[in-house]
Amino acid sequence: MSPVKALIVDDEAHVREAIEYLIDWDKFNITERLFAGSVVEAEELIAEHYPEILFCDIKMPEQNGIHLIETLKKEKVNIQVVVISGYDDFEYMRAVIQANAVDYILKPIKKEEIEKALKQAIKNWQETESFSQFQKIVEIDEKEQTKESSSILEIKNYLDGHFHERITLDILAKKFYLSPQYISNRFKAQYGISIVEYVTKLKIEKAKQLLMKTSKSILDIAYELGFSNENYFSKVFKKYVQLSPKNYREKYVGKKNG
């Protein structure tokens, strides 16, 4: 367990001394104890030292302990509070419960009672801190995933506008400052299709439009879409459309004209 700091807040010096005396601090690995006689002084020490545990009296001059622990709750500060009070008062106890304090201990203070509360306070602090660290890791992961998704989206947008050009993973890697393997894996994970297949489908869809809406020769369409020759273009086109480019044009242009 990491070293822990404790802050003892009470306007009566003998109460602060009693808490200091009663607790076996080494057993709880509390290496530093801080003392405050008022809420204002306590707030200054909290801002400077960030203690994990707070022993706090309720009724004090100027501002009471309820104000302090409610402020800590509002600011979402991970300080576990053990309230020490000479008043068996329902309203005080309700306020303490609402502020998520660990325990409400009545004076005179008993060693067993205060050490039990301290043990629970340390456990609560550790659990809260662990959860907070976990949340930070999740947030970092989400930001990284968003960043990664954004990078892959940029690559997809680039492919949408440049599919007719010569595209390789090495070319994309140099352009987007990412490794070829990373691009390949992330693109497939994000879109469920490989880059090669995605580019090929873009070419086939564009070929279908050109065959239907223009009178360009099949050879010219093949070259325009980045295919090395007409035969290879026709072979790929038929694989995806189940018709050769010539038959596709005859079928759909013929229907259109008819």
Q: What is the pLDDT of residues 92-101, one digit of tens each?
A: 777 777 777 8
Query: Residue 87 — very low, low, confident or very high, per pLDDT cuts 50/70/90?
Result: confident
| Cα–Cα nearest to 52, from 66, 36, 38, 72 | 72
Q: Give residue 41's pLDDT.
A: 93
> Could you identify the residue written with the tokens 């086939």?
204
Average pLDDT over residues 106-134: 90
- What would the mean pLDDT of 206-227 be, rounded to a whole number? 93
Tens-place pLDDT, residues 172-186: 999 999 999 999 999
Element (DSSP H or E) covering residue 185 = helix 180-191
* pLDDT, tens digit, 9 for 90 and up, residues 134-159: 788 778 777 877 877 888 999 999 99
Domain residue ranges in the chain: 4-134, 196-257
Of the candidates 18, 36, 14, 15, which has an alpha carbon nearest to the alpha carbon of residue 5? 36
Provide the CB-side half-sphere exposure for 165 (13 A, CA): 10
Mean pLDDT in the chain?
A: 89
- Looking at residue 258, its pLDDT comes to 43
Please tell me the CATH code under which domain 196-257 is placed.
Answer: 1.10.10.60
What pLDDT sits at residue 202? 94
Backbone φ and ψ for 33, nearest 5 degrees, come out as: -115, 135
d(CA 2, CA 111): 23
Angle between helix axes 111-162 and 195-213 (nearest 10 degrees) is: 40
Q: What is the pLDDT of residue 98?
A: 75
C-beta of residue 207 within 8 angstroms of C-beta of residue 221: yes
Just give the CATH number of 4-134.
3.40.50.2300
